[in-house]
Structure 1
């Protein structure tokens, strides 16, 4: 391995190859889940260097794990354990941050390290936005990472991250590394080095872009979400319609670049908050909106009362940070926090995730951050929706709420002021980490959170699950939030210390599967979920030698599968 490390250093420089366990440990751990072994972590700074590092790793018969900002929630961009049958190398692409807007900004070209936040900042100058506008954007997730994992999002009209324009490397059946150029840009050259150099140097114009019927986003989703009687959920990670080369590849190839669509910023926006104690009221509303509205809402975010309460108490600092520091500084802040947590977790007498605990207590020093009407609705209703509308959809939604749905006994709604709509959306976003924060503060008495990422059938009326006593006996907390129009839910369960979480998870997933649900919905399989056969077949087609990210989706880690 020393000779191979020397080869890597000759390509990228000594400072950009890590081999000591202490130095590589952070990169060998997942954002929330996973840890394993790796002989080296390499940081190329050009696309040509990335190709050369791949050549050296393939020649040495290494396992290759592609990694960028390490924000995946299911451990998909870090090693899983120490039982690989070959040396593992991690190629971290965070230094490869090229970005170029195409065709007046209606599309973007992104390199492996380009983040959604960086793309969003560039698009802001021309009143456009990327596929994702919150969530992953604030924690530093990359554009290519989103595509590779079919990442979802809150937006009703956009579906999963998807493109059919990509440039990637794979190892073919003969064990040879090859560059597959389906980026749709003419005249870049013939050899890998020539193509990559010209691409990175920007030696092309819009006239070189190919239009051949391929798409750079999930353009069908706005219609698919309206199918209320579909036999599969609207969007989920195993959807074969969204597994295409780099899209959904989950690290089974090394992606150099993608072309993706961008989207116009709405001219006007209005947020409504809806409340009920009867889940059927929201079923009626959802079916009416998707079945009859001419203009769909932008977002429709759900949270139950428990989620509202836990987020109010345990995620206050997150909402305040976004509001007062802005999203510009958050990706770096999250990265620094993650590194600090990793180092402090190694000190035996300190509680795990100490920075998280300190941030919780810091948040308590600030006054109440949620407007009165939001808190009143939380007190009055078990179930809340945050309905975000824009442009023509504003009046259409207002008329329906005032003249129809709002007249139903037992429901309520109000039209948010600017302060209320900002607070409501920040509260919903901060809720995503509230369950983890709760467990960090109660780690001596509770198990790690059991998080389920679930896509329900559009026709499933029992979206609020009634769990049997067998599954609730040792439960301390149950949170539910998600993207209601999409019927994608994130359910977080915290159990008492000593609970058999593997057994609990198995029983829960069996119940969901019996109802036609799919999981995961948008966080991808990583090393936490077993991939469906269609996904396993897709992985094997991309990577017949099992060189890249072996074991993903609980598949074999062995050479050649």
Structure 2
């Protein structure tokens, strides 16, 4: 006897109610009928069409014979197994979805537990791309609430995804696709405290504190943070940078890194543990540790002397090695994967301890232009190999991204220039709230982007005249910021190069330096705006974040026509001294971005490049073996942020 599959079989987990489970490989494209009943040892009770990933729900490991099967039919029989009382009891004590939400509301308050698609959309949707479902979004206000939420979620055996500003560019801080368990998303923005240690030589940062707030805290102390906002997003968090090895725009300091952190993990046996490697004696129990840290209830005697690092102290020497055959920095660098650093949300990080730096006495920005990329590479090598003082930063822009940003990033430049940075995270949160409510109304889907674009056209030109003149003259632009002794070194070298090469430059006044920097900052968001305004012409934005070899002289790519003909724009910008480039490609309507990406990655592999460089793998890149091993080591049950690096989404990585 054969049967037909129902169009929508009821959801069913293999092995439920103690039933014995049989699986039979079933080729969808060859037959729509179930196997004959004689193939089943006992009467058929229920069946369901599932993908191979579905087996992780029952912790069933498929043999190699079946791993590539397109689908399976799961057959359940009605005879309960004799050895099921224990497992039945365990399941009966598992909190239901409703019970979990009630518990979470009791911990953080009802207003800070969001449910429903519209309420949660701005948290579930990535800054540039990516979106998935979540049972709820919770917003704890204290470290203790954060811990109590983790306890409740772990007891309920749910997936935990943690985000702060949700400014990731590779979908790594939002749900994505389907999972074998419900997802609970924790937004940490309310836990935004910062604590200064000593005279400000170090700071302790809570999960929701931002780089902007850290700069503001350190300013009266004549100190600077370990990192500043680079090319990506507004309102980025300090801990988000640590978890993703972000940063590196500041050449003397490199990417965000620390070996001093306070975090929670779930062990192999499912136990939630709090690990205090912050180097501060705060007590023994999680409740005591978190309460004392929140209240700043410790003195200098509690701060331990330690050899563990609170920054990447080796980076300045590494970036100077211009003949090295490896990149200066990239996300999968094993030297900089340590507990919270590089964990990509596979740990719940409560606090990190970081170095700060004295302010520079004087700074000067040089705006440099050329039509020859080889001349920029020669400048880079001279600075890194010969200068006593490294640059503060060296930001590159190609003329094409200059033009896109001038038109589609203008409102960002104006907002930061006129309002400052303090209000911008709230502004973009409001934009996300509006977008979520208009998303399903097709004519209004991109209303906020269209409205902001309309307003920006009414605003007078904001770019300085000398910057615009260089745009007309040169294809390649470099914004070089030097400090103290490096100012005269750069001035002398640039004056010499103008006499014997096609390079030209000018020294920016304060206004020119500010606006040129903001223009570079707005580049990544400008590409997103372009896509929103021209959605009928654009299939997608393909964004690559790459780290070239330090000795790669041919840093500017040349794509074959088979690829470039499928793109409307190729946008190049990045952190030039460390050879980290952001390459955004606007894909023509009807073309396949995934296929184009695979072709591009093959080219990058041949060049010895590493990717991603600083945005981390998220759900867009495959984690290399060393990085995947690190993720499994710190999160053996795959309870935190499963699926990143295109790894398994199933419990225990089955």
TM range (shorter): over 0.9
State whether structure 2 residue 395 is matched by structure 1 residue 268. Answer: no
1:230: which partner in 2?
Answer: 324
CA contact (8 A) 2:543 2:583 kept: yes
Summarize the alignment of residues 59-138 of structure 1 with structure 2, pairs less than 5 Å apart: 59-81=155-177, 83-135=178-230
2:550: which partner in 1?
Answer: 458
Task: Please give the alpha-carbon distance, in whole angstroms, between the structure 1 residues aligned to 2:491 and 2:180.
Answer: 60
1:54: which partner in 2?
Answer: 150
2:88: which partner in 1?
Answer: none
Task: Please give the alpha-carbon distance, in whole angstroms, between the structure 2 residues aligned to 1:19 and 1:493.
Answer: 35
1:299: which partner in 2?
Answer: 393
CA contact (8 A) 2:205 2:351 kept: yes
Task: Please give the alpha-carbon distance, in whole angstroms, between the structure 2 residues aligned to 1:308 and 1:14.
Answer: 46
CA contact (8 A) 1:138 1:327 kept: no
2:522: which partner in 1?
Answer: 430
1:241: which partner in 2?
Answer: 335
1:506: which partner in 2?
Answer: 598
Number of aligned residue pairs: 557
Summarize the alignment of residues 347-496 of structure 1 with structure 2, pairs less than 5 Å apart: 347-350=441-444, 352-402=445-495, 404-496=496-588
Task: Please give the alpha-carbon distance, in whole angstroms, between the structure 2 residues aligned to 1:136 and 1:333.
Answer: 19
Task: Please give the alpha-carbon distance, in whole angstroms, between the structure 1 residues aligned to 2:190 and 2:629.
Answer: 32
1:18 Cα shift? 2.0
Could you report, residue by residue, the CA deviation over 1:439-498 in whole angstroms, capped at 9, with x for unpaired residues?
211110111211111110011111110100001112111110111001001111112100
1:346 Cα shift? 2.2
1:45: which partner in 2?
Answer: 141
> Considering only aligned residues, what root-mean-square deviation do their CA atoms show, in Å?
1.4
Gaps of at least 5 residues in structure 1 are none
Task: Please give the alpha-carbon distance, in whole angstroms, between the structure 2 residues aligned to 1:390 and 1:325.
Answer: 27
Secondary structure of the structure 1 residue equivalent to 2:651:
coil
Task: Please give the alpha-carbon distance, in whole angstroms, between the structure 2 residues aligned to 1:137 and 1:18.
Answer: 27
CA contact (8 A) 1:31 1:338 kept: no
CA contact (8 A) 1:252 1:542 kept: yes
Secondary structure of the structure 2 residue equivalent to 1:144:
helix
Secondary structure of the structure 1 residue equivalent to 2:459:
coil
Q: Among 307, 312, 324, which residue is 1:213 paired with?
A: 307
CA contact (8 A) 2:249 2:393 kept: yes
Secondary structure of the structure 2 residue equivalent to 1:139:
coil
Task: Please give the alpha-carbon distance, in whole angstroms, between the structure 2 residues aligned to 1:91 and 1:221.
Answer: 33
State whether structure 2 residue 440 is matched by structure 1 residue 346. Answer: yes
2:27: which partner in 1?
Answer: none
Gaps of at least 5 residues in structure 2 are 1-96
Secondary structure of the structure 2 residue equivalent to 1:447:
strand
2:404: which partner in 1?
Answer: 310
1:137 Cα shift? 9.3
State whether structure 2 residue 275 is matched by structure 1 residue 154. Answer: no
CA contact (8 A) 2:227 2:255 kept: no
Give the 3 Å change call, closer, same or farther, for CA 447–137 of structure 1 in structure 2.
Answer: closer
CA contact (8 A) 2:191 2:206 kept: yes
CA contact (8 A) 1:138 1:331 kept: no
Task: Please give the alpha-carbon distance, in whole angstroms, between the structure 2 residues aligned to 1:366 and 1:98.
Answer: 37
Task: Please give the alpha-carbon distance, in whole angstroms, between the structure 1 residues aligned to 2:335 and 2:433.
Answer: 37
Instruction: Give the alignment's TM-score, normalised by structure 1.
Output: 0.97
Secondary structure of the structure 2 residue equivalent to 1:307:
helix
CA contact (8 A) 2:383 2:390 kept: yes
Task: Please give the alpha-carbon distance, in whole angstroms, between the structure 2 residues aligned to 1:389 and 1:163.
Answer: 26
1:543: which partner in 2?
Answer: 635
1:343 Cα shift? 1.9
Task: Please give the alpha-carbon distance, in whole angstroms, between the structure 2 residues aligned to 1:401 and 1:168.
Answer: 47
State whether structure 2 residue 118 is matched by structure 1 residue 26. Answer: no
Could you report, residue by residue, the CA deviation over 1:128-174 in whole angstroms, capped at 9, with x for unpaired residues?
22123334797111111110111124211111111000000000111
2:351: which partner in 1?
Answer: 257
1:17: which partner in 2?
Answer: 113
CA contact (8 A) 1:150 1:522 kept: yes
CA contact (8 A) 1:116 1:137 kept: no
Secondary structure of the structure 2 residue equivalent to 1:492:
strand
Give the 3 Å change call, closer, same or farther, for CA 36–135 of structure 1 in structure 2.
Answer: same
CA contact (8 A) 1:76 1:525 kept: yes
